[in-house]
Chain A
């Protein structure tokens, strides 16, 4: 099992992601600087971590989406490699048009940082199969622009196709239809605002995030 964590200037959860993946799965994790135009061979998972890539300038994730590494990430996704964007990484995936929709300023204009209960809306994905039918999990969120937005037609399609993977039990930021995480049509690209990397062992309040990494690497 082999995973990569992409590091943008301003990423701040890259180390957390690496430690979370290593401890929960034993996978070898490589850190990939955003200027790299290619990725190591044989990757089973690529993670775009949380943080403030390029200072959130212009829009969260806008500049990062144009990084040389993102072309390689998109090519890898086209080959079926699993890609997970967490928080800022979710914003990057939307800006790169690898996932539909966008993340807006939180409805209450507040940065929210709290443990949060999530419904596993689709337990059949590569990222959620390990929850083995569990419908409720806990992770933490930390975002100021986590308010998922897409037009109604896109939201209907996401819901109809089972692409909504996680939903907030109690909506913390105004996200459309309480959506916390989605996958692409093929099911190998996940974007989520909650942090599995901050919930990978009981000492952190929850180990539910570890299951996500275990699921995707077990399916590899």
Chain B
């Protein structure tokens, strides 16, 4: 199975990279852009066929390493 994890700063946590990108996009002539958030994607292979088990494992990985839940939220996809 393939796991895909997306990690973003939580709403309310200042995303300074997002702000800088937003400013640059405005400068490029895209004034309608708002709310830019920068995240990261982590993809990996996971052996086994039990999707529910895989999903709960990947969530455990997020809570323990892939995300810092003090500042970040995450989305998990397993397919």
Contacts and interface: CB of A to CB of B under 8 A. Distances in A.
A58 interface: yes
Interface stretch (A100-108, A124-132, A196-204, A209-217): A100-108
A48 B13 CA distance: 26
Interface in B2-60: 9, 13-14, 16-17, 20
Contacts of A58: 65-66
Nearest to B20: A109
Chain A interface size, under 10 / 10 to 19 / 20 to 34 / 35 or more:
10 to 19
A149 interface: yes
B17 A102 contact: no
Given A94-B70, A149-B71, A104 B65 contact: no
Nearest to B10: A151
Contact of A149 (B13, B17, B65, B66): B13
B17 A105 contact: yes
A94 B72 CA distance: 14
A58 B66 CA distance: 7
Contact of A107 (B16, B65, B68, B70): B16
A62 B13 contact: no
Interface string A93-125: 011000011101111110000000000000000
A62 B68 CA distance: 8
Which of B13, B17, B66, B68 has most chain A Cβ within 10 Å?
A: B68
Say what secondary structure dominates the interface of chain B.
mixed
A104 B13 contact: yes
A10 interface: no
A149 B14 CA distance: 9
A102 B14 contact: no
A71 interface: no
Contact of B65 (A66, A101, A102): A66
A104 B68 contact: no
Nearest to B71: A102
B70 A174 contact: no
20 contacts: A59-B68, A62-B68, A66-B65, A95-B68, A100-B70, A101-B70, A102-B68, A104-B13, A104-B14, A104-B71, A105-B17, A106-B16, A107-B14, A107-B16, A109-B17, A109-B20, A149-B13, A149-B70, A149-B71, A174-B14
Given A102-B68, A102-B71, A150-B70, 11 more contacts: A62-B68, A104-B14, A104-B71, A105-B17, A107-B14, A107-B16, A109-B17, A109-B20, A149-B13, A174-B14, A174-B16
Interface of A: 58-59, 62, 66, 94-95, 100-102, 104-109, 149-150, 174
